[in-house]
Amino acid sequence: MAKQTVAFLGPLGTYSHLVTRKRFGNDAEFIPLLGIADVCSYVSRTPGAKGVVPIENSSGGTIHETIDILLNNRPRVCIEEELSLHVKLALLGHKGCPIKRLHSHFVPLEHCSPWIRKHLGRVEKKEESSTAIAAAHVTVDPYAAALGGRHLAKQFGLDILEFPVESDTPNITTFVVVSRKQVEHTRRDKITLAISLPNEPGSLYRLLGTFQQEKVNLSRLVSRPIRGAHKEYAFLIDLDGDMETPSVKRAIRDARKQSTALRICGAYPCRKPYRS
């Protein structure tokens, strides 16, 4: 039996890599790629492949690149599952060496900013494209440290100087598993819609009222500008429920009547959060 191929936002050691391993185990073939668009492009042209990309962080907000790909349907992918990771951060570096530079992705730097101000207030902050890249920088600089997952210590031969780096609020990153075609699931917890509305007063109000009347809960509403259209926006909407539930069916039917375009990006299950 052929291995399941899964692309993810690399490099090796990122939280996308970690959640991909937790979801698909060690028997899958993992393909690290440099960007979210690269992951989605690979999936759209590779039969049977899946991809894992982040869509939202509880501190950093929505990942606009993922949202735009789903809204524009370019590359063409569908949401197959939702995954989430409860992130616990570690301070990684070299024992006995004073810290002069702190490397990390912008989300951990923002999430842990109170702790950083208290413990590393005079340290120079260096924003990197991923926590794995941050840890790689620290391997060649004895006076640097990184904020990232504990798993990076073994991967890069670093010491764990502090764990967990505490914050007042949970740090949860949400990911979506994407595939070329929509998959039929026996359990569907959530539906994602890409919607364009008439550019006229009250169009969004009427759309939201459609779901309210059917008592369908909306768990995400993101607006993004339509490229090339001045002051016009498209909306990515997550709603709780199953496509076979009558109230959900009616709400989507009525929403379609009010929209200039409506596409279902996926109807899928949401797995319980993993821990880093």
The 10s digit of each residue's pLDDT in 11-22 is 999 999 999 999
Q: What is the location of CATH 3.40.190.10 in the chain?
A: 5-84+172-181, 90-162
Q: Are 32 and 129 in contact (CB under 8 A)?
A: no
The 10s digit of each residue's pLDDT in 207-256 is 999 999 999 999 999 999 888 777 778 999 999 999 889 999 999 999 99
Using 50, 70 and 90 to split pLDDT, how confident is the model at 1? Answer: low
* pLDDT for position 137: 97
pLDDT value at 130 more than 80: yes
| CATH code for the structural domain at 90-162 | 3.40.190.10
Taking the C-alpha atoms of residue 56 and residue 64, their distance in angstroms, rounded to an integer, is 9
Average pLDDT over the chain, rounded to whole?
93
Query: How confident is the model over 29-37, as a mean pLDDT?
Result: 96
Taking the C-alpha atoms of residue 236 and residue 214, their distance in angstroms, rounded to an integer, is 19
The region of weakest confidence among 4-8, 126-130, 184-188 is 184-188
CB proximity list for 55: less than 8 A, separation 6 or greater: 62, 63, 66, 67, 174, 175, 176
Query: What angle (nearest 5°) sits at the alpha carbon of residue 196, between those of residues 187 and 198?
Result: 140
pTM to 2 decimal places: 0.89
DSSP string of the chain? Answer: -PPPEEEEESSTTSHHHHHHHHHH-SSSEEEEESSHHHHHHHHHHSTT-EEEEEEEETTTEE-HHHHHHHHHT-S--EEEEEEEEE---EEEE-TTS---EEEEEHHHHHHTHHHHHHHSTTSEEEEESSHHHHHHHHHT-TTEEEEE-THHHHHHT-EEEESS---SS--EEEEEEEESS----S---EEEEEEE--SSTTHHHHHHHHHHHTTPPEEEEEEEEPTTSTT-EEEEEEEES-TTSHHHHHHHHHHHHH-SEEEEEEEE-BPPPEE-
Phi-psi region of 201 (alpha: psi -120 to 50; beta: other; left: phi over 0): beta
pLDDT value at 94 more than 80: yes
Rounded to the nearest 5°, which phi and psi values hold at 111? -65, -40
* pLDDT for position 226: 82
Q: Are 155 and 21 in contact (CB under 8 A)?
A: no
Q: What is the location of CATH 3.30.70.260 in the chain?
A: 190-268
pLDDT value at 57 more than 70: yes
* pLDDT for position 199: 87
* pLDDT for position 227: 80
Neighbour order of strands in the sheet with 218-225: 218-225, 233-240, 190-196, 261-268
* pLDDT for position 175: 98
| CATH code for the structural domain at 190-268 | 3.30.70.260
* pLDDT for position 70: 97
- CATH architecture of the domain formed by 5-84+172-181: 3-Layer(aba) Sandwich (3.40)
Taking the C-alpha atoms of residue 240 and residue 192, their distance in angstroms, rounded to an integer, is 9
* pLDDT for position 233: 86
Taking the C-alpha atoms of residue 147 and residue 123, their distance in angstroms, rounded to an integer, is 13
